[in-house]
Amino acid sequence: MTRSPANTAVAVLMGGWSAEREVSLSSGTACAGALKRAGFRVTPVDVQRDTVVALLQQLKPDVAFNALHGKWGEDGCCAAILETLGIPYTHSGVLASSLAMHKEKSKAIFRAAGLPVAESLLVPLEDVAERHPMALPYVVKPVAEGSSVGVHIVLENANGPVRAVLDERAIFGSHAMVERFVPGKELTCAVVGDRPLGVIDIVSKSSSWYDYKAKYAPGGSQHILPAQIPASVYRRCQDYALVAHQALGCRGVSRADFRYDDRPGHEELILLEVNTQPGMTGTSLVPELAAHAGWSYEDLVTWMVNDASVDR
Ligand X SMILES: Nc1ncnc2c1ncn2[C@@H]1O[C@H](COP(=O)(O)OP(=O)(O)O)[C@@H](O)[C@H]1O
Catalytic (active-site) positions = 20, 147, 216, 255, 257, 273, 275, 279
**Which value, to the nearest 10 degrees, does the dihedral of the CA atoms of residues 15, 17, 20, 24 take?**
-10
Stretch that binds ligand X, among 138-146, 217-225, 245-253, 285-293 (CB under 6 A): 138-146
With CB under 6 A as the contact rule, the residue among 113, 118, 171, 224 that binds ligand X is 118
- 179 forms part of the interface with ligand X (CB under 6 A): yes
165-174's contacts with Cβ under 8 Å and 24+ in sequence apart are 165/125, 165/128, 165/129, 165/140, 166/125, 166/126, 166/129, 169/125, 171/19, 171/142, 171/145, 172/125, 172/142, 172/143, 173/142, 173/143, 173/144, 174/124, 174/125
**Between residues 7 and 208, which has the closer beta carbon with respect to Mg ion?**
208
C-alpha distances in Å from residue 255, one per residue of 189, 196, 210, 272: 6, 9, 15, 11
The b-or-e profile of 28-63 (16+ CB within 10 A means b, else e) is bbbbbbbbbebebebebbbbeeeebeeebeeeebbb
**Between residues 146 and 196, which has the closer beta carbon with respect to ligand X?**
146
Query: If contact means CB under 5 to 8 A according to the sort of partner, which of ligand X, Mg ion, none does residue 182 touch?
Result: ligand X
- Residues between 251 and 270 with contacts to Mg ion, criterion CB under 5 A: 257
Stretch that binds ligand X, among 30-38, 145-153, 220-228, 283-291 (CB under 6 A): 145-153
- 259 forms part of the interface with ligand X (CB under 6 A): yes
Taking CB atoms, the residue at the shortest distance from ligand X is 210
**Between residues 74 and 307, which has the closer beta carbon with respect to ligand X?**
74
- 101 forms part of the interface with ligand X (CB under 6 A): no
**CA pair distance 63, 181, nearest whole angstrom:** 41
With CB under 6 A as the contact rule, the residue among 18, 92, 147, 276 that binds ligand X is 147
CB distance 20 to 147 below 8 Å: yes
**Between residues 8 and 24, which has the closer beta carbon with respect to ligand X?**
24
CB distance 154 to 140 below 8 Å: yes
**Between residues 254 and 302, which has the closer beta carbon with respect to ligand X?**
254
**Between residues 210 and 297, which has the closer beta carbon with respect to ligand X?**
210
CB distance 218 to 283 below 8 Å: yes
Orientation of helix 103-112 relative to helix 94-101, angle to 10°: 100
- 148 forms part of the interface with ligand X (CB under 6 A): yes
Query: If contact means CB under 5 to 8 A according to the sort of partner, which of ligand X, Mg ion, none does residue 186 touch?
Result: ligand X
The b-or-e profile of 67-97 (16+ CB within 10 A means b, else e) is bbbbbbbbbbebbebbbeeebbbbbbbbebb
- 182 forms part of the interface with ligand X (CB under 6 A): yes
With CB under 6 A as the contact rule, the residue among 256, 272, 300, 304 that binds ligand X is 272
With CB under 6 A as the contact rule, the residue among 20, 186, 201, 307 that binds ligand X is 186
Residue 257 Cα to chain centre, angstroms: 8
Query: If contact means CB under 5 to 8 A according to the sort of partner, which of Mg ion, ligand X, none does residue 259 touch?
Result: ligand X
Instruction: State in angstroms the smallest separation of the CB of 151 from Mg ion.
Output: 9
Stretch that binds ligand X, among 39-47, 156-164, 176-184, 220-228 (CB under 6 A): 176-184
Q: Provide the binding-site residues for ligand X, judged by CB under 6 A.
A: 118, 139, 141, 145-149, 151, 179-182, 186, 209-210, 257, 259, 272-273
